């Protein structure tokens, strides 16, 4: 798809969808038909999108010691260092909301609906103004100012997602039967609905499989499959908002709720510590297996026999569903440990609001220093990886971090060289 968008004499690279580089799905075919329906005969007018430099790397580095180091270290850093901080932020925000909803004001039924509407209003503002914010930041020269705006944007988006999920999850808890079998059936139906809509359940997979790097290229504009030549940007962002923040988000919550409840019922329900450890011991081997075998599985699936019998979509969907269940295991494991050993601390019991706010800010601050606070939400558009280490799930944080550090060092080195050479040049003249 074309990579540059010209709008009101502004040129910007098109924000590619997170899982764009795959075969066309039912949704994308529908979008193509919608695009043709909007402008079926307009073939002479100039297109709003032009081919240009792409964020996707054209040359893939297949060998080298650096590639091997990235391949080994990226899943380890994501799974053991960054992922627990993401859980801390999410659970602190979630528990803050739960404590507040337990107050007399929060117990009113209308409050949950108002919170959900508030979250949706913030989201539609973010979706519709993403290009304006991107263009504004591109004109800025101060890196510190750009970084502060990006981090504020990330924090607002992350807290809005927490509000959205807590409100919807609590509504389902309050007004639907607490029958685990019914929840499981609804969860399975939601999973199949996502596959029917998208052609794959990739959008249900989250951290630690998918991490982001804090940058205006990946965290301001939201990749949209609805952005075509004949659908303008505003309409595209609105359709993207409706599709993801109403349809996919609701199905995701239902899928997570049933899967999570299933583990609560059958995995040491009376022993939180053993239940948490069991979740982690089951989740981490699956996580590393799925991460380290992505390239190999992709090569195997390229064999003609899989294409001939049309097994490729089935194999990928099984892999994505396994990754989704692995996410549930890992999130639940850390969540239970947090509730058991951190949320029971003296400060948490005496001043829960202060405690959870401190946890949110501390975790967000550390993630910001690591340039991956946006992993709380995940990358909003496709992240390039010159090594193509993990083709199924965008997880090139370490590569992006290294390249950015190397770029900064090169700029500093060139500046120092120019400073040293300037007196010699003047003397020579």
Q: How many residues are there in the chain?
A: 429
* Contact between 367 and 39 (Cβ < 8 Å): no
pLDDT at 43: 38
pLDDT at 225: 79
Spatial separation of the C-alpha atoms in residues 220 and 327, rounded to whole Å: 25
Judged by DSSP in three states, 226 sits in coil
Spatial separation of the C-alpha atoms in residues 264 and 237, rounded to whole Å: 38
Residue 345: partners with Cβ closer than 8 Å, 6 or more residues away: 355
* Contact between 224 and 382 (Cβ < 8 Å): no
Each residue's pLDDT, cut to its tens digit, for the chain (429 residues) gives 444 555 544 455 556 556 554 544 555 555 555 555 554 444 344 434 443 434 445 566 767 788 899 999 999 999 999 999 999 999 999 999 999 999 888 888 799 999 999 999 999 999 999 999 999 999 998 999 999 999 999 999 999 999 999 999 999 999 999 899 999 999 999 999 999 998 889 889 999 999 999 999 889 998 887 877 778 889 999 999 999 999 999 999 999 999 999 999 999 999 999 999 999 999 999 999 999 998 887 777 777 766 656 677 888 899 999 999 999 999 999 999 999 999 999 999 999 999 999 999 999 999 999 999 999 988 777 787 788 888 888 788 888 888 888 877 666 666 555 555 544 333 332
* Contact between 65 and 25 (Cβ < 8 Å): no
Q: How many CB atoms lie within 10 A of CB 45?
A: 9
Spatial separation of the C-alpha atoms in residues 6 and 302, rounded to whole Å: 37
Give the phi and the psi of residue 361 in degrees, each rounded to 5: -70, -35
Spatial separation of the C-alpha atoms in residues 62 and 310, rounded to whole Å: 28
Spatial separation of the C-alpha atoms in residues 381 and 144, rounded to whole Å: 23
Tell me the CA distances in angstroms from 173 to 85, 177, 181, 184, one per residue in order.
27, 8, 14, 14
* Contact between 166 and 115 (Cβ < 8 Å): yes
Q: What is the largest CA-CA distance in the chain?
A: 86
7 forms beta bridges with: 10
Packing angle, helices 143-175 and 109-128, rounded to 10: 150
Judged by DSSP in three states, 51 sits in coil
pLDDT at 380: 79
60-103 pLDDT, tens digit each? 676 778 889 999 999 999 999 999 999 999 999 999 999 999 98
Spatial separation of the C-alpha atoms in residues 291 and 74, rounded to whole Å: 9
pLDDT at 427: 35
Q: Where are the domains of the chain?
A: 4-20+48-428
Q: What is the pTM of this model?
A: 0.85
Residue 22: partners with Cβ closer than 8 Å, 6 or more residues away: 200
* Contact between 214 and 148 (Cβ < 8 Å): no
In order, the DSSP letters of 155-170 are HHHHHHHHHHHHHHHH
Give the strand pairing for 10-13 and 49-50. unpaired
């Amino acid at each position: 798809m074309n990579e540059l968008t010209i709008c009101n004499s502004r040129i910007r690279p098109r924000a590619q969808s997170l899982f764009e580089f795959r075969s066309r799905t039912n949704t994308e075919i529908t979008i193509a038909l919608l695009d043709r329906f909007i402008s079926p005969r307009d073939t002479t007018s100039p297109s709003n999108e032009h081919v240009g430099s792409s964020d996707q790397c054209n040359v893939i580095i297949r060998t080298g010691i650096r590639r091997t180091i990235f391949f080994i270290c990226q899943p380890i850093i994501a799974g053991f260092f960054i992922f627990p901080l993401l859980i801390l932020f999410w659970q602190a925000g979630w528990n803050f909301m739960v404590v507040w909803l337990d107050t007399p004001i929060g117990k009113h039924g209308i409050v949950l609906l108002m919170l959900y509407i508030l979250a949706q209003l913030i989201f539609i503002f973010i979706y519709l103004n993403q290009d304006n914010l991107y263009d504004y930041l591109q004109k800025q020269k101060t890196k510190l100012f750009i970084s502060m705006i990006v981090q504020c944007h990330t924090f607002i988006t992350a807290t809005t997602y927490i509000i959205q999920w807590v409100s919807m999850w609590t509504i389902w808890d309050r007004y639907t039967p607490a029958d685990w079998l019914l929840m499981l059936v609804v969860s399975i139906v939601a999973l199949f609905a996502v596959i029917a809509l998208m052609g794959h359940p990739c959008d249900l997979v989250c951290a630690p499989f998918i991490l982001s790097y804090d940058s205006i290229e990946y965290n301001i504009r939201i990749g949209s499959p609805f952005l075509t030549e004949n659908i303008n940007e505003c309409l595209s962002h609105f359709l993207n908002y409706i599709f993801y923040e109403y349809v996919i988000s609701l199905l995701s919550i239902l899928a997570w709720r049933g899967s999570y409840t299933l583990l609560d019922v059958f995995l040491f329900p009376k022993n939180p510590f053993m239940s948490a450890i069991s979740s982690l011991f089951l989740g981490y081997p699956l996580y590393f297996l799925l991460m380290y075998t992505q390239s190999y599985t992709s090569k195997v699936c390229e064999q003609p026999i899989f294409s001939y019998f049309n097994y490729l979509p089935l194999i990928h969907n099984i892999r994505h569903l396994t990754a989704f269940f692995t996410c549930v295991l890992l999130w639940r494991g850390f969540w239970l440990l947090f509730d058991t050993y951190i949320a029971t601390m003296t400060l948490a019991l005496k001043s829960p609001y202060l405690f959870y706010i401190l946890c949110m800010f501390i975790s967000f601050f550390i993630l910001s220093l690591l340039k991956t606070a946006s992993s709380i939400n995940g990358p909003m558009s496709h992240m390039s990886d010159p090594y193509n280490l993990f083709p199924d799930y965008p997880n090139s944080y370490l590569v992006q971090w290294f390249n950015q550090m190397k770029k900064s060092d090169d700029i500093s080195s060139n500046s120092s060289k120019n400073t040293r050479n300037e007196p010699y040049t003047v003397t020579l003249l």
